[in-house]
Amino acid sequence: MKIYIAGKLRDDSEREFLEKIDLLCKSLGFKTFLPHRDVGLANGIEDVDRIFKGDIIDGFKDIDLLIAILDGLHVGAGTSWEMGYAYAKKIPVIGIKTDEPVSEALEYLSAILIGSAEIVSSLEELEITLKKFKSGK
């Protein structure tokens, strides 16, 4: 089983959290796709085609699940797009929001994002949910 891990990539702390999730997934026996590791970052407009092909055309091949980081005042535009794309492809989505309860984040997340994903609030909850997903429950 393979998991696409989506989230903001612009600063070190954002990438470090994605990498923590990557390690958790691997420790449970999942393969992962991590955009900044597997494709790289966009440094300029000349990188757009490479990023789109790598992240979306190639990155979504054989994906069984998408994990989306939902922390912060706004979900990244790419993350939101990836969540919608996964939903359209009937790929389950788990959102993780650790900085505030989802019930208090409606104006930041939108009903669409909340309604399209199972949302957990910690790495511990994510681990439990991933174990259930892996066992088919």
Tell me the per-residue pLDDT of 5-56, one tens digit each, with 9 for 90 and over: 999 988 888 999 999 999 999 999 999 999 999 888 888 999 999 989 989 9
Using left for φ > 0, alpha for ψ between -120 and 50, and beta otherwise, residue 97 falls in: beta
Residue that wins the pLDDT comparison between 113 and 34: 34
pLDDT of residue 41: 86
pLDDT of residue 24: 98
DSSP 102: G
pLDDT of residue 101: 82
State pLDDT tens for residues 66-79: 999 999 888 889 99
Which among 29, 33, 20 is positioned nearest to 61, based on CA atoms?
A: 33
pLDDT of residue 23: 97
**CATH number for region 2-135:** 3.40.50.450
Please, what sign has the CA dihedral across residues 131, 69, 39, 23? negative
Q: Across residues 84-109, what is the average pLDDT?
A: 90
Give the rounded percent of residues in the chain with a pLDDT score beyond 70: 99
pLDDT of residue 106: 79
Mean pLDDT is lowest, of 12-21, 34-43, 81-90, 115-124, for 34-43
Average pLDDT, the chain: 92
Q: What are the CA-CA distances from residue 30 to residues 54, 58, 68 (Å)?
A: 20, 18, 16
pTM as predicted = 0.92
CA angle 20–23–26, rounded 5-degree value: 150
For residues 80 and 103, what is the distance between their CA atoms, to the nearest angstrom?
A: 19
